[in-house]
Amino acid sequence: MLRNDFLSIRDFTPNEIREFIELGRLIKSNPELFADSLKGQTLALIFEKPSLRTRVSFDVGIHQLGGFALYLSPAEINLGKRESVYDVAKNLERMVQGIMIRTFAHEIVDQMADCAGIPVINGLTDYSHPCQAMADYLTILELKGEVAGLKVAFVGDGNNVAHSLMFAGAQLGAKVWVATPPKYEPDAGAIRWAAERGENTGGTCTVTNDPVEAVRGADVVYTDAWASMGQEAEKEQREKIFRPYQVNAELFQLAKPDAIFMHCLPAHRGDEVTADVIDSVHSVVFQQAENRLHAQKAIMVELMKPKVAEGLRIAARSL
Ligand code: CP
Ligand code: NVA
């Protein structure tokens, strides 16, 4: 695999997405094999929005690979205001070996990758959350044994998490359904891309305003916050609009009897999901959160030490 950056699930072939996930599985089951993979490497973590999982999983992940993470808070860099994206990239490439960035406009991540001569990882933008999707499908694979052909229903806002779930689902041949209120559908270009990619993989992407239609017979039911980071001013208005899209026991029971419930977290019990669903035996949200660690270790090794990733993959085949 010859890619310098991890910016979008769309930048990869279906095979490459599968390889990332397989490497994540391998790292999860044999962490000791990878203990020195990134020895002496430093990853800068640029955060322009809050985080628990992304920050902890990248920090702990690179540490477990023998490297070091450097957390840079919104106040420290003040990207584009105190200093241009270009200058930040040109400084960092001289001192660290990789950059993870969580920001608002997706263009900033693209610009950072264009300017920096080191790998750049998208740790969430307003448009997408590709690291989340890798952990999500790793979790689905662990629990269902396959992804192709499964019905994955996302109910709520057609947001960054929905986009990456659609992209990765299309790459892996899943039947992704997204149910949103009118005017909150996913981006039209994202829907088009997922439908087109699905033509080669058997995946489909269906967008509806009817949560019942989306959840009926689903293998996976997924939701996310109604107001994402940066949309705090719309919170009250969104709470009214999204209320009929709450994932509660009544809606969830329309899914298959062995369906799993997923949420990228943070969750808001009583809003997008009720406690009797997220705290039920069907919920896999903490396994999903843990898998951020393993999936992102795979991404870091692939980008920062591709030869090590390939060598270990070959070695693991004879285990
Ligand atoms: N799911 C996720 O990205 O969580 P954080 O916002 O806490 O990083
Ligand atoms: N859609 C949410 C995801 C948080 C991980 C947000 O952007 O705030």
User: Which of 10, 59, 197, 264 is flagged as catalytic?
Assistant: 264
- With 60 as the cut, is the pLDDT of residue 1 above it? no
Instruction: Please give the pLDDT value at position 176.
Output: 98
173 and 122 both lie in a single domain: no
Q: How far is CA 74 from CA 50, 71, 136, 142, in A?
A: 9, 10, 27, 35
Q: Ligand 2: which residues within 6 Å by Cβ?
A: 124, 159-161, 224-225, 228-229, 264
Give the Å distance between the CA of 231 and the centre of ligand 1: 16
144 and 279 both lie in a single domain: yes
Instruction: Please give the pLDDT value at position 123.
Output: 98
Domain containing 137: what range?
132-288
90 and 215 both lie in a single domain: no
- With 90 as the cut, is the pLDDT of residue 222 above it? yes
Average pLDDT over residues 183-201: 98
Instruction: Please give the pLDDT value at position 293.
Output: 98
Give the Å distance between the CA of 318 and the centre of ligand 1: 36
Mutate to test the pocket of ligand 1, among 265, 290, 299 (most ligand atoms within 8 A of CB): 265
110 and 143 both lie in a single domain: no
Residue 159 is which amino acid?
N
Q: Where are the beta strands (DSSP E) in 104-230?
A: 120-122, 151-155, 175-179, 204-208, 220-223
**Could you tell me if residue 3 is inside a domain?**
no
Cβ–ligand 1 contact at 292 (below 6 Å): no
64 in active site: no
What is the tens place of the pLDDT at every residue in 126-162? 999 999 999 999 999 999 999 999 999 999 999 999 9
292 in active site: yes
What share of the chain in percent tops pLDDT 90?
92
What is the tens place of the pLDDT at every residue in 243-293? 999 999 999 999 999 999 999 999 999 999 999 999 999 999 999 999 999
CB 164 within 8 A of CB 228: no
What is the tens place of the pLDDT at every residue in 298-316? 999 999 987 777 777 777 7
What is the tens place of the pLDDT at every residue in 33-74? 999 999 999 999 999 999 999 999 999 999 999 999 999 998
Q: Which residues have CB under 8 Å from 231's CB, separation 6+?
A: 238
**7: number of Cβ within 10 Å:** 20
The structure's pTM equals 0.96
Ligand 1 closest atom vs CA 289: 1
* Total domains present in the chain: 2
What CATH number should be reported for the domain holding residue 275? 3.40.50.1370
163 in active site: no
222 and 109 both lie in a single domain: no
Instruction: Please give the pLDDT value at position 3.
Output: 65
Give the Å distance between the CA of 54 and the centre of ligand 1: 5
Average pLDDT score, the chain: 96
**Could you tell me if residue 230 is inside a domain?**
yes
User: Which of 102, 106, 197, 294 is flagged as catalytic?
Assistant: 102
The residue nearest atom 6 of ligand 1, judged by CA position, is 51
Instruction: Please give the pLDDT value at position 71.
Output: 97
Instruction: Please give the pLDDT value at position 313.
Output: 73
137 and 275 both lie in a single domain: yes
- With 60 as the cut, is the pLDDT of residue 2 above it? no
Cα distance between residue 122 and residue 104, in whole Å = 11
Contacts 24+ apart (CB under 8 A), 184-190: 184/157, 184/158, 184/241, 184/242, 185/158, 185/209, 186/158, 186/159, 186/162, 187/127, 187/158, 187/163, 190/163, 190/166
The residue nearest atom 3 of ligand 1, judged by CA position, is 54
121 and 204 both lie in a single domain: no
78: left (phi over 0), alpha (psi -120 to 50) or beta: left
Instruction: Please give the pLDDT value at position 312.
Output: 74
147 and 241 both lie in a single domain: yes
**Could you tell me if residue 316 is inside a domain?**
no
91 and 180 both lie in a single domain: no
Ligand nearest to the Cα of 288, by number: 1
Give the Å distance between the CA of 161 and the centre of ligand 2: 7
Cβ–ligand 1 contact at 205 (below 6 Å): no
- With 80 as the cut, is the pLDDT of residue 197 above it? yes
Average pLDDT over residues 203-218: 98
What is the tens place of the pLDDT at every residue in 11-28? 999 999 999 999 999 999
User: Which of 5, 157, 219, 224 is flagged as catalytic?
Assistant: 224
